[in-house]
Structure 1
Amino acid sequence: MKVFALPQPLARALLVLALAMPLPLPAFAQSYAWTAKPAPDPAILQKDMADLASRVLRDLPDDRGLANLDRRYRIELVSGRYEQALRSMADLRDRLHRQEVIPSRAAWVTVPYEIHADARMNEAAGHIERTQAYRKAFRDRFATLDDWPSAEVARTFTVTDPAELQATFQEDLEATKSKSMLDQADAIRLVTDYLAATVFREALPLVPALIQEDDARRYVTQENVLIKEGNGASVCAYVMRPKKAGPLPALLEFTVYASSPEAIRGRARLSAAHNYVGVAGFTRGKVCSPGKASAYLTDADDASTLIDWISTQPWSDGRVAMYGGSYNGFTQWAAAKRMPKALKAIMPSAPVGPGIDVPMEGNVFWSFVYPWPFFTLDGKFNDQAVYGDTKRWRHLDQAWYASGRAYRDLQKIDGSPNPTFNQWLSHPSYDSYWQGMIPYRKEFSRVTIPVLLVAGYYYGGPGAAIYYFQQLEKYAPTSEHYLLIGPYHHLGAQYGVLDEQGNLIDTLAGLSVDPVAQLDMYEVRYAWFDYVFKRAPRPALLGDKVNYEVTGANVWKHAPSLSAMGNAKLRFYLADGAADDHGLALNEKAPSGKGEAIPLTVNLADRSDLQQPPTGGGVVDTAIDTRNGLAFTSQPLDAPTELSGLFSGRLDFITNKKDFDVEIDLYELTSQGRYVQLSQYWTRASYAADRTHRQLLIPGQEQHLIVEGNHLRSRQLLAGSRLVMVLSVIKDSGRQINYGTGMDVSDETARDAGAPLSIRWLTTSYIEVPVRNK
């Protein structure tokens, strides 16, 4: 399966599919009789769960290690042993505090469960009603917390969706219907998922008011502040600041994502807890801003207006910085296009670049972006119900693909007008429409403020971060800008390796995340801004302008530029001879003479693959997708090799069409037969030389396509591993299909396909991968 860049907000699905894994489970052979069946009566269910938890608890080893303590306190809670659970949580906090990996989470990660335990004990000891017991437990615990841990706990309550936790538990419960015995792993999973669903379901109706009560003790808040612009438009903001503080720097997140009042407060609370003024600003037409919402078009002016307003408030010291990821990363660059005087620093994480990587990348439009306007622009708050209707959007992709209709007909097939997406389709080049949204070319020279770009290697992790960084390298080479990049996906680059409840997630789609890369990006955020505003030391991770984790080597490295990440290049030519038993070859030796041609034929009108299941897709997997392409494999590496940087190359070819969309996927193939993602690249051939201007191909003539990779990677390749390159034509239900007529691709149909696409790849074609030799 090809791996695509996925801008936000695919938060839930991405966490589940790419990161999520159950708590580590013991490898014991115990099993437990199971006669309980899914029942609607909560009291019966609670009794069944308590009984199962008690039996599992008897078999748990007396091990005070992290994993076992984490299991133990959860099982103790379900079994009703609340005092024991509190002692286990205290032991766990002590162990977490002494860990090298994110020790700070010890201060807050167990608090929701401590409140649950306290509430149950209050209820039993004081013979008081459950909601009263909970309120008392919450207030007592929060009274002992400093601002920062309390803000983390509040965020946990705000972002955790009890309905999702309940759905997970129900799936577990349904899976036990036909079982008379449960093995220990299944029993622990059932019990712990039941606990999570119970804790957050019971908190849901009570916690928002309790958090607001606690906020009133710590902070001054201003809700639904309407800031008017000179042109008659306005934007909406929420402000939270420490009560006992004078003028402070303000940290602004400017966003189109408005999910709920509680989430809005959470955007500002963490900054206020770190002794900044926290400001959540919303794009035009959102929350309290009148009028129709729009995306991208006015954000440069609106963000600048909001920054100017912040700088003049009595609680502001006149300095403003911005942070946030995905769309909220873009808005920082929109503001930087205007460079308001008060803007002093930015920290974009996995930022999208309109026209660069969303809604198109390599000038090829993405279908998964199609529902995004419904989600963000159809109301004052986001429409999660529509956006989360995965069945509708999956059907739309498949129906369009099966029909062979024009890409512009997506809205007709769906049955709902989508004017925003159609407007995007009318700009297939990176023209003035897109150029007006973020700095363009020399406009980057004005971005002389400190910039920290955070990005990941996988699943939309980079966003357009590499593009932005390259523009700074080119146009503002002496300014203070940094790139921090490692084994993260689109959300991990924004939040790090902790899930919504603070649990450590140390794998990503089959890849073990090296311990040194296990970061809490919130901590990175405030260390960065403390450096900018409070004369704190520069974060140690920022050893040079480019800071990257070498996956598999468990080490961070630093370089003054992207090109300096590697100090040598390995060039591989396409070859029509076999690489042992691995099919076509990547040869380090150049072909003699003009070289041969390797044919690839793709019937762009064929839809027989509609129901074909995907192949591969994990960061580490046992198979890769070679549909509509060819796989080329190198000889085994003689020694461990560090691949670090952006790959490049040149494709020489002869084709029968005026255009096609090409993709390159690079993998490490280990000697154990595992494929590890290295990098990807795709482009519309007619835009490869210049994304702003289309240059059609000449059928039947030899032509050249220069490859300049934009998905950064660093990995320690193992001795004996091979490099695999899949060279393919883009043809799937998730992106436009370029039929090669030379017309606007959005207007082409399968009827325009004509003869199958034929490409003869010449063996003078090559790729170059950057490596670092010791």
Structure 2
Amino acid sequence: MKTTIQLILVCMAPFACAFGQQTTPAVQKEVPAADIYDIQDRILIKTKGGQQLSAIVVRKKEWKAPQATALFFTIYADHEKNLAEAKRSADRGYVGVVANSRGKALSPDQINPYETEAEDVNGVIDWISKQGWSDGRVAMYGGSYSGFAAWAATKHLHPALKTIIPYVAAIPGFGLPMENNIFLNANYGWGFYVSNHKYLDTTNYYNQKHWRDMQFNWYHSGLPYRKIDSIEGRPNPLLQRWIQHPAYDRYWQNMVPWKEDFAKINIPVLSITGYYDDGQISALRYFKEHYKYHRNADHYLIIGPYDHFGAQRGGSPVLRDYKVDPVSLINTAQITYEWMDYVLKGGPKPALLKDKINYQVMGANEWKHAPSIDKMSNQVQRLYLTDLKSGENHLLLPGKPVKAGFSLQEVDFADRNHTNNDYYPYPIVRKELDRSTGLYFISSPFEEEVSVDGIFSGVLKAEINKKDMDVGLVLYELMPDGQYFHLSYFLGRASYAQDMTRRTLLKAGAINTIPFSSTRMFSRRLSKGSRLLVVLDINKNPFAQINYGTGKEVSEESIADAKVPLKIKWSTDSYVDIPVWKY
């Protein structure tokens, strides 16, 4: 019996252990953490540049030989959560290291979100590689800001970094605080949250009414975007710094890999994101750019019906009132460590990774796998935004019109009793749409069951009476029962459509070409009889900058620039390309 008791004591909770015919459960004795872990939670890492970064290191005391390190780099300085994160990695067979951004926790330096990670993360990796407990190999993982930090580390790749596992990874200047060159208000309060002091400033941050009121008060005030912080009542220095860079210029390019930088990223990468992740276009851009500049990149993608937080967990049974397919639910943490074991320890590849792109088909309760984004579909349907009408909708037709025509739209930016462009996917399934603004284009019913898998794109052609506009498109499935399933959307500034690094104003009175491709990836099985619906509109609401079209810097424009409404003639040469899988 003595031997049995000793064995029970070393079993890892919460798993039960059974031995022989024993029927009485043994009493589990909790082992103090100090007996299991070697914890160093007040480390200051000094980098070659002279900065000091706060870190926590956790190792199992039973380990004698050097181990590989799992590094989690975060701006969210929360000692207890960061310590738990490091312990989790130690429990999975790695030295767990959590490092905080410059200026956070114990660091005496200035807090500058995003701006110094490319340098600082590599300073941490270099420090780790020189410690006696390190075997010289580091894996980075984490979501959102931590996913961004993992990619920032690859801009100047340290030889000790062997793999990264970024989830819903941000690209500063691309997915936030601006999307396709339009500044969004969703992250307005985030700067205060992370930079007001050494840990996290929760004052007002979780007060949704405060931020919603601020946005609507600014919208109704008609003030320029650069003065939005006067509505909130305190300066927002981060926002003011960011809006000095409306193009994706060197300021943003220096934060993460840019163009040829991707060609040098020769380590295995596993990216995880969701169809309804607000920052999905960032995570997908990393994936697309990596393969664009490194044709033989070892980069895998997992994507399913997850939002920004759900992807970091592995999903939830109900997402924005939509009941997801049971097969879509995964365990992101488990897959993360399986991937580390695969890369660093010769373990098996995670079972879900059957090809480079692994995506869950909504409505089919199955996963599919493809070697590239293009191979997710076996047909691309080009549908034109015609001026022909059927009831309250324009027709979305496969054939280019024989004679070019136009669909007309007018937007009064001085009218603050109404908003334009209801694009956000909440809820995912709607019984009806607000048709007070925008143009609606509907396809013929599908004659058979199909999947729409991939990224929709297209080209808009329009004549306007101004020099710029912010465009919104939403793609829905109109189901046979009359409900609308939100598939994807696009939001972008027309003057940056050709090149997000340089603004080219539109020519008033001429036909302008506006290509778009930075939309959300999705996969959905459509039943026979379903139709596609494209909603085309101009962005005018409290949730983002308002582009009045004068050609001046948008942050300087105000309601005083709204005397003349925006008049648009949408050409019937405009089209969308829909990736379809025909069975």
TM-score, scaled relative to structure 2: 0.93
How far does the alpha carbon of each residue in 1:459-483 deviate from its partner, in whole angstroms, 9 at most, with x for none? 4162511100011111112121111
Gap runs ≥5 in structure 1? 1-141, 151-209, 498-504
How far does the alpha carbon of each residue in 1:59-109 deviate from its partner, in whole angstroms, 9 at most, with x for none? xxxxxxxxxxxxxxxxxxxxxxxxxxxxxxxxxxxxxxxxxxxxxxxxxxx
Between the aligned partners of 2:435 and 2:496, the Cα distance in structure 1 is: 24
Which residue among 93, 96, 104 is the counterpart of 1:278? Answer: 96
Q: Give the 5 Å matches for 1:446-461.
A: 446-460=264-278
Mean Cα deviation higher: 348-357 or 549-558: 549-558
Q: Is the 8 A contact 2:57 2:86 kept in 1?
A: yes
How far does the alpha carbon of each residue in 1:581-608 deviate from its partner, in whole angstroms, 9 at most, with x for none? 4521111222112x11100111012101
For residue 681 of structure 1, what is the aligned residue in structure 2? 490
Between the aligned partners of 1:616 and 1:525, the Cα distance in structure 2 is: 28
Q: CA deviation at 1:507?
A: 1.6
For residue 189 of structure 2, what is the aligned residue in structure 1? 371
Between the aligned partners of 1:698 and 1:544, the Cα distance in structure 2 is: 45
- Confirm or deny that 1:590 pairs with 2:415: no
Q: Is the 8 A contact 2:443 2:532 kept in 1?
A: yes
Which residue among 505, 508, 516 is the counterpart of 1:707? Answer: 516
Structure having the larger proportion of residues in helix: 1
For residue 182 of structure 1, what is the aligned residue in structure 2? none
For residue 541 of structure 2, what is the aligned residue in structure 1? 732
Which residue among 392, 395, 413 is the counterpart of 1:604? Answer: 413
Q: Is the 8 A contact 2:421 2:438 kept in 1?
A: no
How far does the alpha carbon of each residue in 1:397-438 deviate from its partner, in whole angstroms, 9 at most, with x for none? 011000000000011121211111100000000000000000
Between the aligned partners of 1:242 and 1:568, the Cα distance in structure 2 is: 53
Say how many residue pairs are matched.
Answer: 563
For residue 251 of structure 1, what is the aligned residue in structure 2? 70
For residue 422 of structure 1, what is the aligned residue in structure 2? 240
Between the aligned partners of 2:11 and 2:478, the Cα distance in structure 1 is: 49
Decide whether aligned partners of structure 1 residues 626 and 300 sit closer, same or farther in structure 2, where only a CA change above 3 A counts.
farther
Q: Is the 8 A contact 2:170 2:176 kept in 1?
A: yes
Q: Give the 5 Å matches for 1:328-727.
A: 328-460=146-278, 462-497=280-315, 505-579=316-390, 581-593=391-403, 595-609=404-418, 617-727=426-536
Decide whether aligned partners of structure 1 residues 443 and 614 sit closer, same or farther in structure 2, where only a CA change above 3 A counts.
closer
Which residue among 766, 771, 774 is the counterpart of 2:575? Answer: 766
Q: CA deviation at 1:628?
A: 3.5
For residue 61 of structure 1, what is the aligned residue in structure 2? none
How far does the alpha carbon of each residue in 1:289-341 deviate from its partner, in whole angstroms, 9 at most, with x for none? 11221101111111000001111111111100100011111001111001011
Between the aligned partners of 1:464 and 1:400, the Cα distance in structure 2 is: 28
Between the aligned partners of 1:615 and 1:589, the Cα distance in structure 2 is: 30
Q: Give the 5 Å matches for 1:53-452.
A: 146=12, 214-245=32-63, 246-259=65-78, 261-452=79-270
Between the aligned partners of 1:381 and 1:307, the Cα distance in structure 2 is: 22
Q: Is the 8 A contact 1:741 1:753 kept in 2?
A: no
Q: CA deviation at 1:625?
A: 4.1
Structure 2 SS opposite 1:251: strand
Q: CA deviation at 1:609?
A: 2.4
How far does the alpha carbon of each residue in 1:424-455 deviate from its partner, in whole angstroms, 9 at most, with x for none? 00000000000000011001111110000101
Structure 2 SS opposite 1:444: helix
Decide whether aligned partners of structure 1 residues 696 and 347 sit closer, same or farther in structure 2, where only a CA change above 3 A counts.
same
Kindly name which structure, 1 or 2, has the bigger radius of gyration based on alpha carbons: 1
Between the aligned partners of 2:33 and 2:329, the Cα distance in structure 1 is: 30
The runs of 4+ residues in structure 1 deviating greater than 3 Å are 142-145, 147-150, 610-616, 625-628
Structure 1 SS opposite 2:84: helix
Between the aligned partners of 2:419 and 2:535, the Cα distance in structure 1 is: 21
Decide whether aligned partners of structure 1 residues 348 and 674 sit closer, same or farther in structure 2, where only a CA change above 3 A counts.
same
Report the residue type matching 2:501 in the other structure.
Answer: T
For residue 50 of structure 1, what is the aligned residue in structure 2? none
Decide whether aligned partners of structure 1 residues 419 and 620 sit closer, same or farther in structure 2, where only a CA change above 3 A counts.
same
Mean Cα deviation higher: 454-463 or 374-383: 454-463
Between the aligned partners of 1:148 and 1:264, the Cα distance in structure 2 is: 21
RMSD: 2.1
Structure 1 SS opposite 2:280: coil
Decide whether aligned partners of structure 1 residues 438 and 613 sit closer, same or farther in structure 2, where only a CA change above 3 A counts.
closer
Q: Is the 8 A contact 2:420 2:541 kept in 1?
A: no
Structure 2 SS opposite 1:537: coil
Report the residue type matching 1:248 in the other structure.
Answer: Q
Structure 1 SS opposite 2:519: coil
Decide whether aligned partners of structure 1 residues 719 and 597 sit closer, same or farther in structure 2, where only a CA change above 3 A counts.
same
Q: CA deviation at 1:711?
A: 1.1
Q: Is the 8 A contact 2:420 2:438 kept in 1?
A: no
Mean Cα deviation higher: 608-617 or 739-748: 608-617
